[in-house]
Amino acid sequence: MYTSYTWNQLISDLGGTGALWSALGSGTLGEYAAPGDRLVMANTDGHLYQRASEADVGSAIDAYRVEPILHFGDPNRFDLLNEIWFDVSASGNFSIDVYHRSGDTTGEVVEAPWTSIGSVSCNNNRRSVLTGFSKPARLHQIKWGTDRENESFQVNGITFKFTMDSTV
């Protein structure tokens, strides 16, 4: 990813409009522009994407994972979500922030706002648990991650503990 060199500047340096790639001779684009270190991602649509903000080393970058919508065995039954256990393989002095949303249909879940249900500490814990909330619904979804720098946690699994309740 070249950040300080534009396509028009390259055309001008190669001889103006009508310039051909052969004008580079045995040279490379790198001789005209200095590459920058960037996190880039590719997609199957043929485009290359980069994270353009907060790119400095040590900066806080939002990093969240959204789990699939869950129904805990029966999409027509209300379940009371009580605990979320994270199997952490790399512990340290950091935490995982957890958000929840729910609904009776997939559309309701997708349209629902995210609600913070707390954070779990990863300080010397192999299994970190989040408790102190009760979320009744047919369908549940969580989003978890960090918004601070240098929180290099690794999660190998997530266990949801719930109570089946068809009367809610």
Rounded to whole angstroms, how far apart are CA atoms 100 and 96? Answer: 13
Give residue limits of the domains in the chain: 7-50, 63-164
pLDDT confidence of residue 141? 94
pLDDT digits (tens, 9 = 90+) for 48-71: 666 555 455 556 667 788 999 998
pLDDT confidence of residue 53? 52
Q: What is the DSSP letter of 29?
A: G
Calculate ∠ Cα 159-148-37, nearest 5°.
Answer: 110
pLDDT confidence of residue 90? 73
Q: Please list the ranges in the chain whose pLDDT falls under 50.
A: 54, 168
pLDDT confidence of residue 168? 45
Query: What CATH code is assigned to 63-164?
Result: 2.60.120
Calculate ∠ Cα 103-105-106, nearest 5°.
Answer: 95
pLDDT confidence of residue 33? 63
pLDDT confidence of residue 60? 63
Calculate ∠ Cα 156-73-95, nearest 5°.
Answer: 30
pLDDT confidence of residue 59? 61
pLDDT confidence of residue 69? 92
